[in-house]
Amino acid sequence: MKTKLKIANDEGIKEAAYIIKNYGLVAFPTETVYGLGANALCERSAGKIFEAKGRPADNPLIVHVSSIDMLTGVVESIPEYAYKLIEKFWPGPITLIFKKKSIIPDFVSGGLNTIGVRIPNNRTALELIKEAGVPIAAPSANTSGKPSPTTAAHVMMDLDGKIDMVLDGGNCVFGLESTIVDLSGDASVLLRPGAITVEMLEEAIGQITIQTELLKSDDAPKSPGMKYKHYSPNAKLTIIKCKNSNRIIDFIKQKADANFKKSAVIATEESLYSYKAAGLNAYALSAEGLFATLRKIDDDKVEEAYVHSIEESGIGLAIMNRLKKAADSNIIDLDS
């Protein structure tokens, strides 16, 4: 299949909507990451998403809508307090999980009786949903297991030849996938941290339960995506906890001498200079740039990458959540 790459102008969006209406796949920008979209009401269309990404069939898709009317068309009921989150954060980078209506095929929800929905805050995404006239199911537009795409070029790297079209709308503003909150049970549960932070959620609806990491005993995790390999660069990634950056520099140099591998360090802007000054191959760590950096270290043929851990509060919780998955929980604590 030839994948068309089109600028996200009115003409591009019209053509993309035509493809969605005719069972095709279109990757499109959102404010978080690029999504791989198909008609969420159609099993045949959604099936193609799983095939193109190599996604396990039990990993449900997020449904993107452009209005509350469209939301009520796909979910069974909306608890009163959900409106506090909807009013405050939509359109925006937060997905809410509700009991689903049967109009959403079980295939789309990975066999669950719930569905994650969001109204994205991106003009192209909203126009595309309106023009297609149907809710659009869209996981991140990467090959399963790879870092999520934050540019059209990242999407092409993974899916060229496998999907009908990529709408190029430039860089994604947030660069991390949406916060996910499950509202389908008695308590509200945070399943994936993101740009809408725990602090912001609790200010809106009071205390929430946090369940963003897989429990050892979890055969059936609340969010099926938790159990799959994620965001993995080819390089071996290690998270380093340490208060003293000189100790980290010594550690990485020692490792590099012992292993004869091309190594790199990933760290926040403030400490980047000291790593560079010490002669290390250093890359910047930020929410918006995290996935691009993970792809870049592969382009640069880095074999061992070390990332300086950050505090798990605010947006730091989301960044560390993605890093732990990318590092397959490979963490070294130099302070202990």
Residue 24, φ and ψ in degrees, nearest 5: -95, 180
Please pick, from the candidates 114, 150, 238, 309, the single residue that binds ligand TXA as defined by CB under 6 A: 114
Smallest gap from Cβ 227 to ligand TXA, in A, equals 9
Tell me which DSSP letter residue 24 carries: -
Of 33 and 292, which has the nearer Cβ to ligand TXA?
33
Q: For 122-208, where are the E strands, in sequence order?
A: 136-137, 165-168, 179-182, 189-192
Nearer to ligand TXA, 46 or 240 (CB): 46
Among 33, 104, 119, 163, binds ligand TXA (CB under 6 A): 33
- Is residue 225 within the footprint of ligand TXA (CB under 6 A)? yes
Answer left, alpha or beta for residue 68, where phi above 0 means left and psi between -120 and 50 means alpha. Answer: alpha
Among 121, 140, 188, 211, binds Mg ion (CB under 5 A): 140
DSSP alpha helices (H): ranges in 103-192? 123-132, 152-159
Cα–Cα distance for residue pair 51/53, rounded to 1 Å: 6
Should residue 150 be labelled a site residue for Mg ion when binding is judged by CB under 5 A? no
- 30 in contact with ligand TXA (CB under 6 A): yes
- Nearest distance from C-beta of residue 186 to ligand TXA, angstroms: 15
Interaction between residue 178 and ligand TXA (CB under 6 A): yes
Q: Which tokens is 261 given?
A: 């591998």
Q: How far is the CB of 81 from ligand TXA (least distance, A)?
A: 18
Question: Shortest distance, CB of residue 264 to ligand TXA, whole angstroms?
Answer: 26
Among 112, 152, 159, 297, binds ligand TXA (CB under 6 A): 112
* Token code pair at residue 328: 């397959």
User: What part of residues 62-101 is at the interface with ligand TXA (CB under 6 A)?
Assistant: 62, 95, 97
Give dist(CA 43, CA 2) in Å, integer.
23
326: CB partners within 8 A, 6+ apart: 147, 230, 231, 232, 233, 237, 294
Q: Which residues bind ligand TXA (CB under 6 A)?
A: 30, 32-33, 35, 59-62, 95, 97, 109, 112, 114-116, 138-140, 177-178, 180, 191, 222-225
